[in-house]
Structures are given as structure tokens and as C-alpha cells.
A and B are shown apart, each in its own frame.
Chain A
Amino acid sequence: MSSYNEMYEGDRVRDPYARLRDWVETMPDDFRQMKQAEAEALFRRIGITFAVYGEGGDPDRLIPFDMMPRVFEQAEWRKLERGIKQRARALNAFLRDVYGRGEIIRAGRIPARLVYQNDAYEKAVVGVVPPRGVYSHIIGIDLVRTGKDEFYVLEDNCRTPSGVSYMLENREIMMRMFPQLFRGNRIEPVDQYPELLRRTLESVAPAKCRDRPTCVILTPGHFNSAYYEHSFLANLMGVELVEGQDLFVDGEFVYMRTTTGPRRVDVIYRRIDDPFLDPLCFRPDSMLGVPGLMDVYRSGGVSICSAPGAGVADDKAVYTFVPEMVRFYLGEEPILNNVQTWTLWKDDDYRYVMDHLPQLVVKEVHGSGGYGMLVGPKSTADEIEAFRAKIQADPSNYIAQPTLALSTCPTFVEEGIAPRHVDLRPYCLCGDRIELVPGGLTRVALREGSLVVNSSQGGGVKDTWVLSE
């Protein structure tokens, strides 16, 4: 399968990569090794060693950082940006709808079962409209590229997408190590992200909030694989990082314990999952949440970002209907395409997939992190048959997609520089406005030929540049 190499157009190096090519070609080997070691030392010192996207695994393992940036031209990015913002608007419209009148279901455009019997659909928040009607405030949209103008959305992450600290750190480290690169190229900045995130959170403060809103980040604690990111963002935004025990409900509001007494909290950017938010509403055994939080939320006393229940928009079965959401709510044609997806609870799809397993990628509907999936072309006959049995046991738990020829970017490897497959996760912020910093997090499959970019399976990260005009 031939892949699109983002550096080339035929034999010619594309303009955005021209200067980088010179940079790479004139770089002495020992200098490169020295810089690679320096980058690793910097990452270690900062302490950024968590698994990308909460995939689990060894929390102290360093995610490999590749010094060769990935570059987008302004025009390429503008189109992606329009497509991402369009998708974010549609996803929030969908959430507003399914927790309200369910028009899209009444119109027969999405099956009721997929929504109302979805584990992520929270009946506790039916009828609750959060400030500005926004349910998902930070949407991570995973994109892959297969050609010059061909981008596909692999999945949407509407709950609490992680990895943005990598986007910020990758840039920081590149600027520190190679300042001359940033003088020679006009690269759009990303360091405004924390400020934009804070503004986004403040813009969805509840109506009962009178002064400048107090925002906090709610973390499950230091044992969580993304704890570093939680404290990193809190620090950059200038807000408190709290655990459930630091917050309490009194009367109609939520308060934070501080050394100077209780302080009312207006907006909670939570990095804990719905079932653990409040033992009085969800799992009664949860010690991570805040008892009574959901009653305060449901009566408009505090905002929770993302809103409880937002996950119903991003499961892999609902994913297949996002283009339909764009048409239904926005009356527009989707700018970004979905990957063709077979849903195994449909008989025709099931038969097709079972007949073509060696060519397909099969995923669990609720799986993540590259676990529980089959990459047909990269699997042995035994692995395929073992997976077939799993599918047969519970077909509705799986979807299948064609194996995409993911684009490659030049990447530093042992032997020098070589193409490796990449994906992209931009972080879209939704509040009173929809904001997107140029770029996002590029993940790279460091093993030759590998299509799996997950950090738990040998993936690394790269700085991602968007060039200004």
C-alpha cells in the first residue's frame, strides 16, 4: 500500500518542508544525537512522562519525541480548521438535541437505540441545558491524511481529551533547542492555548455567577496517568488544581477549601469520568467525586466541563452519524469526511466484514488506546481467527473500517531520516466562541510500516507547525 509522504510532491520537496530539508541535510550526525539526548532530558526534567490519551501503561515511561516537525501550509490548515469547527458545532447541537426533544431521532436520521440505550447517555441530565447550550467544551478530533487533499476523521473525543500538554511542550522544547528554526520560518504560535481554555471556561459560567468566575481543574489525583497534564494546565491557566475532597457542597453551591476559608466555585473543568463525579447521582462507591455536585449542577449552580453525558456523542457507533448531524443541524455538507465504517450489528455489514477480515481494521465500539483492535493486513491468520471468534460472540460491540494508507512524515530514525505514519489531534474549544489553536498534537508510529500511533504501542510525538501566509 503506498502512502502519501507529506514532504514531497512527486520528487519535489514541497514548499513548507524546503527549509527543514536544508536544516536536516546540513545537520551533523553527532549534533543530532546530542540534541535528541537533550530533548529527552528536558522532557524528563519537566516530568512529562504520562501515556498520551490515558492509555494506561507504564506512567514513568517517556513518550519518544521526534525532533522533525510536521508542517502544514496556511491553506491546508484553514480547510481543516473550518471542518473541525463545523464538526464541533454539530456535535454540540446533537448533545443539546438528544438531552432535549430528540429531533434527529424523531426524524429517523439516527436510530433511537444507539442514543437511548447507550451507556454514555445519562438520564440524570435529560432536560438540563448547560450555559450557552455547550456540552462538550474541549473536543479532540483525531484526523488522518491519505492524500494531498484527503483528510479523514478517525474519531471524536467529546469527554476529556488529553494530550494537549504534549502539543505545548513539543513546541516549547523545539523553540528552546532550535531557536533559529523559528526565526527562519513564520510559524503560528500555540502558546495562547491555556489563555483560550480559561476564557472558554469562564464564558460558560452559570447565570448565578456574579463576579469573575472561579474555575478549577478537578483531577482524580496523582496516580492518574494524565496527572501531569492536569497540573500543567492548572498552572498555565492560573487556576487551582483540586481533588474531590478539596470541594464540597453547601446549600445551593459548590465550594473549594482554601487556607482563607471556603471559596465558591463556578466552573469545574473535570478530568474524571461521569460515573465517579458524584456518589449521590452515579456510582455510590466513588471517592473521587463531590457528593451533591450533580444536584448543584442540575439546578444551575455550577458548570461542569465537559457536561456529564457528553460521551454519547463520541462513541464509535454514533461516530458513523456525525456527517448526518452536520447536515441535519447545520444544513451544510460536511467539510471533513468520516472513514467508511461497517457496523457489525447490521447483517449485510457483518457478512462483508467477516468475508474481508484480512483487509480491514476492526475496533471495539467503546475501546480506546489501540487495544482490543484488529489490523487485518498486519495480523497473522491465527490472530485473525481468534478475533473472528470474539466478533461472533458479540457482533454489536464492533465496527470495521478499511485499512487506510496513513500519510507519512519524515522522522528521525537510527539510520537517519525516514518516512513514518502520522495522525493529528487538534483541540477545539467551545464556549461563547469556537476557538482552535493552529496545529494540534501529531503522533507518529515509530516502527517502520506500523500504522498504530498509540504511545502504548510504540508511538511518539512531534511538534506540529502551521505556517502563516
Chain B
Amino acid sequence: MKLRISHETVYRYARPIRNLVQSLRLTPSAFEGQKTHEWLIEVSGGIRGPGFRDGAGDWIEGWTVRGPAEEVTVRIAGRIDTRDTAGVLRGHRETIHPMVYLRDSDATKADDALQDLARQADGADPLDLAHKLSHLVGDRIAFRPGVTRSGTTAAEALALGEGVCQDHAHALISLARARGLPARYVSGYLHSTIDGKAHDAAHAWAEIHVGQLGWVGFDAANRCCPDERYVRLGSGTDAADAAPIRGVALGTGAEELDVRVQVEEMAQ
């Protein structure tokens, strides 16, 4: 698919802030499923800082805004060609050993219920097992916005039985690790859900490392593997670690956030 993406994040501060520093993981991954043609990152009033590719293969870019500023906008605009690789992250250059992704974080720690659930899946091989775990998560956690928060853990989401893509991804990561499969959180965009409805928000899914095949994506929320409708940005051990934007500013007031994402298919 040829996709045009625009993504705007507006921060509004009750009192002006100074010295805002951000670390952005907002550039599409380079692998066989994605070819980026144009990609602009702009932070209003900001200075572009260091940019580098990290050990996970993600492009990281630092920005600073000296301020004072009452409003800061992080604006992404780009064009990208995507291709279905059946979820396999083929041709992605990264150097972190997969075993690192067996380490748990608070968000993905498996409680007894998650451990029990992990044992219910039965796979002929790691790939088959990963598919089954993904289905289990889809069965046990219904998609329902508004019931979970950004800090909700996999264990809490399973207990609730409801959540959003972040919760599905956390739960799947938790199950995979419980079965000895390295797993990680992926953030990105989604053009449309499988029934063709437009998806106007950032998206997230899980990747599981399955031996020879390497990293394979699983979107438990949508019961599929990422295909050409998906745009992959970056990864981490959990949502906080993989966050597309991390930032800290000097300031004392409240902060308001407004996010707009548009993923459109361009005419051929």
C-alpha cells in the first residue's frame, strides 16, 4: 500500500514551560515490509538534537525546546510504501540479543492467572504456539476503549477482560515470556481494521521471537499478523519503553494533550 501519514501531538501547558527535552521514536523501521519515501519530523519552536539508530534498529531523535512555551506541537508527515510480509520482520537490522526480551517489566509481569492462561496453549512449534497465545489473548480481552489507563498492567487487563491494543500487546508479551519466548512491544500506525474501517489513532502490537524465522508481529486485538495496513515505528520491553514520544520539561502547571493521526491510502 502507498500510505500518507500525518500525526500531530499538541501539548498545551497551563503555565509556560522551559527546557523541554524529548526523545522521539517516530521514524518508520527499515525492513522488507516498509520503504519510506519522505518523512518529516518537526517540533514547534524546537532544536533538532542527536539522531541515531539504536541496538533495536529504531531511529531515535532528540529535540529540545528552550521556551518559554505555552504550546508545543510534534508534527509528523510522511509517505511510505508497505508490503505484506505475513508479520515477519525480515531484513531489519538490529543487534540486541533476543534473550534480552525475556526480562519482565511491571507492565508485563505474569501473575497466576496469566501463568495459567499461558499453559493452556499448545503449539507444535514456537510459531504455532505464538499464534495460539495471540488467539487466547483475543478471546480473553475484549476490545473496549476507556476502561484501562496507560498504566494498566497485563495482569489487570486480563482480570478486567477488557482493554485496548496496549493491553492486548502487554498480555501477549506476558504469555509469550511465560512460555520462554522472547517478546516485545511495538508501536506504530494502522491504516484500517480488517473490516475496512479507518483507524484514526496510533496503534500497538506485540512481536514474538520464534527461532529461525526471527521476530514476528501479532496483533491480538485484531486477531491477525501485521500486514501492509501496518506501519512499524519502534519497539521496547513494554509500552513505556517503546513510547514514540518521551519528554520532560521544566514547569509546574498542568499539561493537556491532543493527538490526531491520519493514515490514508494514496491514489495509485
Contacts and interface: CB of A to CB of B under 8 A. Distances in A.
B49 A298 contact: no
B14 interface: no
Given A123-B100, A250-B66, A280-B248, A295 B60 contact: yes
Contact of B49 (A116, A127, A295): A295
Interface in A117-136: 117, 119, 121, 123-128
A33 interface: no
Interface stretch (B4-12, B50-58, B109-117, B201-209): B50-58
B55 A295 contact: no
Nearest to B95: A127
A113 B101 CA distance: 11
Nearest to B248: A291
A123 B48 CA distance: 24
A229 B88 CA distance: 52
Nearest to A102: B97
Contact of A291 (B21, B48, B96, B240): B21
Nearest to B99: A116
A416 to B, nearest CB: 55
A279 interface: yes
A113 B47 CA distance: 41
Interface residues of A, number: 32
A299 B50 contact: yes
B68 to A, nearest CB: 15
B246 A280 contact: yes
Interface string B85-106: 0000000000111011011000
A379 to B, nearest CB: 34
Contacts of B246: 279-281, 284
Contacts of B99: 112-113, 116-117
Interface residues of B, number: 29
A314 to B, nearest CB: 19
Given A249-B49, A295-B49, A298-B50, A284 B240 contact: yes
Contacts of B73: none
A102 to B, nearest CB: 6
Interface in A299-331: 299, 301
B19 interface: yes
B64 interface: yes
Contact of A280 (B23, B55, B66, B100): B23
A294 B22 CA distance: 11
B16 interface: no
Contact of A250 (B56, B64, B102, B247): B64
Contacts of B97: 102, 105, 112, 116
A249 B54 contact: no
A350 interface: no
Interface in A62-91: none
A396 to B, nearest CB: 14
A3 B6 CA distance: 74
Nearest to B50: A299
A46 to B, nearest CB: 36
Contact of A296 (B50, B55, B102, B240): B50
B251 interface: no
A397 B50 CA distance: 39
Which of B48, B100, B102 is most buried by chain A, counting CB atoms within 10 A of its CB? B100
Nearest to A290: B21
A251 interface: yes
B78 interface: no
A124 B102 CA distance: 15
B45 interface: no
Nearest to A297: B50
Contacts of B62: 249, 252, 292, 295-296, 299
A261 to B, nearest CB: 13
Given A116-B97, A292-B64, A301-B50, A281 B55 contact: no
A166 B97 CA distance: 41
A248 B62 CA distance: 13
Given A295-B50, A299-B52, A251 B64 contact: yes
Contacts of A291: 21, 247-248
A279 B96 CA distance: 21
A251 B51 CA distance: 10
Contacts of B237: 123
Contacts of B56: 123, 126
Contacts of B22: 280, 292
Contacts of A125: 55
Interface string A263-282: 00000000000000001110
Interface in B57-80: 60, 62, 64, 66
A155 to B, nearest CB: 23
Contacts of A280: 21-23, 246-248
Interface in A214-261: 248-252
A244 to B, nearest CB: 11
Contacts of A105: 97
Contacts of B248: 279-280, 291-292
A251 B48 contact: yes
Interface in B169-217: none
Contacts of A296: 49-50, 62
Nearest to A121: B100
A292 B55 CA distance: 17
A250 B19 CA distance: 8
A227 to B, nearest CB: 24
24 contacts: A113-B99, A117-B102, A124-B54, A126-B55, A127-B95, A248-B21, A249-B62, A251-B49, A251-B64, A252-B50, A252-B62, A279-B248, A280-B21, A280-B23, A280-B247, A281-B23, A281-B246, A292-B22, A295-B49, A295-B52, A295-B60, A295-B62, A296-B62, A299-B51
Given A117-B100, A250-B19, A251-B48, 8 more contacts: A116-B97, A279-B246, A280-B247, A292-B23, A294-B23, A295-B49, A298-B50, A301-B50
The 6 closest A-B pairs by CB, nearest first: A126-B55, A299-B50, A292-B21, A295-B62, A291-B248, A116-B99
